[in-house]
């Protein structure tokens, strides 16, 4: 792939996604000691950047593949994103989801016409069920984060941000499965002069931080985190990009995530998920590094239960 690949991706997904706004706040800049540019993917269709990767992955399929549908396993934002992108493109989406997933998440998928296929709540059961659907329906499997087309689609959030603010010194994105940070790193590589990309990750599930140190994909996470969307592992498609193109990963404590989230809610007046707050928490964690710099922060999404907040 090269810059032209991403230009083509940006062009083809553009009719199906929002170009999201970039918001700033004098108070946030004063508090953080830096110039922060929030790329608001919480305003994206279905409320998260995942719409970009899901749309691109489906657009990349042949007509024959599209007729047979797509399948993924996710109970989070990617389940909704793939369902909505498939609906918009007239494609069937099968979503493998644990039986015990919250009803609100099942409902969200149903709103977008996704067909839920329930399984036991273990990684093995999930993989087995996805494989079964693949074979029975001849549908194409699309991984939420470890898929080239998903990564390329995700890159368009940072491409837009760099179009609006070409002289950013840094872009920070949260790290979960690695699909967003890898896409962001490709965007900075091809669409900026010298913008560096940094990941923010909860200390409690710091597999990406450890993977970058050890040079191989680490797949243990003992802890839990309020940023539950980030409790996933890197994969062989995105890890090499992260290893090569991401400057570093900053880990943050749970209370730092909650504090950053509250600060964004109160000062920016926007609703962001805990996962999004992780990226801004990383800026606050290392104020010296980002002092007086121009820092883009990818607000990854805004799907949060407003009746059950951590503050």
What's the start-to-end Cα distance of the chain, in Å? 44
User: What sign results for the dihedral spanned by CA atoms 9, 10, 13, 17?
Assistant: positive
- Burial readout 104-134 (b: 16 or more C-beta within 10 A, e: otherwise): ebbebbeebebbbbebeeeeebbeebbeebe
Q: Can you give the binding site for a copy of itself, defined by CB under 8 A?
A: 21, 23, 26, 42-43, 45, 47, 262, 265-266, 269-272, 302, 306-307, 309, 311
User: Nearer to a copy of itself by C-beta: 204 or 276?
Assistant: 276
Q: Which residues are catalytic?
A: 50, 75
DSSP letter at 169 equals S
Smaller CB separation from a copy of itself, 152 or 280: 280
* Distance, CA of 177 to CA of 56 (rounded, Å): 18
Cα 98 to Cα 46, 197, 220, distances in angstroms: 21, 34, 21
Report the residue number, 47 or 69, with the smaller CB distance to a copy of itself: 47
Helical H runs in 118-221? 123-137, 148-164, 179-191, 207-214
Please say which residue, 150 or 264, places its beta carbon nearer to a copy of itself. Answer: 264
Question: Cα–Cα distance between 159 and 83 in angstroms, integer?
Answer: 24
160: phi then psi, degrees, rounded to nearest 5: -60, -45
Nearest-approach distance from CB 260 to a copy of itself, in angstroms: 13
């Amino acid at each position: 792939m090269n810059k032209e690949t991403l230009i083509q991706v940006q062009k083809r997904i553009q009719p199906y996604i929002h170009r999201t706004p970039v918001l700033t706040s004098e108070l946030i800049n004063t508090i953080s000691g830096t110039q922060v540019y929030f790329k608001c993917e919480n305003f994206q269709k279905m409320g998260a950047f995942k719409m970009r990767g899901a749309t691109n992955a489906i657009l990349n399929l042949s007509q024959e593949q599209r007729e047979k549908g797509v399948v993924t396993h996710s109970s989070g934002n990617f389940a909704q994103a793939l369902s909505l992108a498939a609906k918009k493109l007239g494609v069937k989406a099968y979503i493998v989801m644990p039986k015990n997933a919250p009803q609100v998440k099942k409902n969200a998928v149903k709103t977008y016409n996704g067909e839920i296929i329930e399984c036991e709540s273990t990684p093995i059961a999930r993989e087995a069920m996805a494989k079964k659907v693949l074979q029975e329906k001849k549908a194409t499997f699309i991984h939420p984060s470890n898929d080239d087309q998903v990564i390329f689609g995700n890159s368009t959030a940072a491409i837009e941000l760099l179009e609006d603010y070409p002289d950013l010194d840094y872009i920070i994105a949260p790290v979960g499965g690695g699909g967003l940070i890898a896409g962001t790193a490709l965007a900075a590589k091809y669409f900026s002069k010298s913008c560096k990309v940094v990941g923010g990750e909860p200390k409690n599930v710091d597999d990406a931080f450890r993977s970058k140190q050890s040079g191989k994909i680490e797949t243990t996470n003992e802890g839990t985190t309020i940023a539950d969307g980030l409790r996933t592992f890197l994969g062989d498609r995105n890890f090499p990009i992260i290893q090569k193109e991401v400057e570093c990963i900053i880990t943050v404590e749970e209370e730092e995530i909650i504090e950053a989230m509250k600060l964004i809610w109160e000062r920016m007046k926007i609703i962001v998920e805990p996962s999004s707050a992780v990226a801004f928490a990383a800026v606050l964690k290392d104020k010296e590094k980002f002092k007086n710099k121009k820092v883009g922060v990818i607000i990854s999404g805004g799907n949060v239960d407003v009746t059950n907040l951590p503050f």
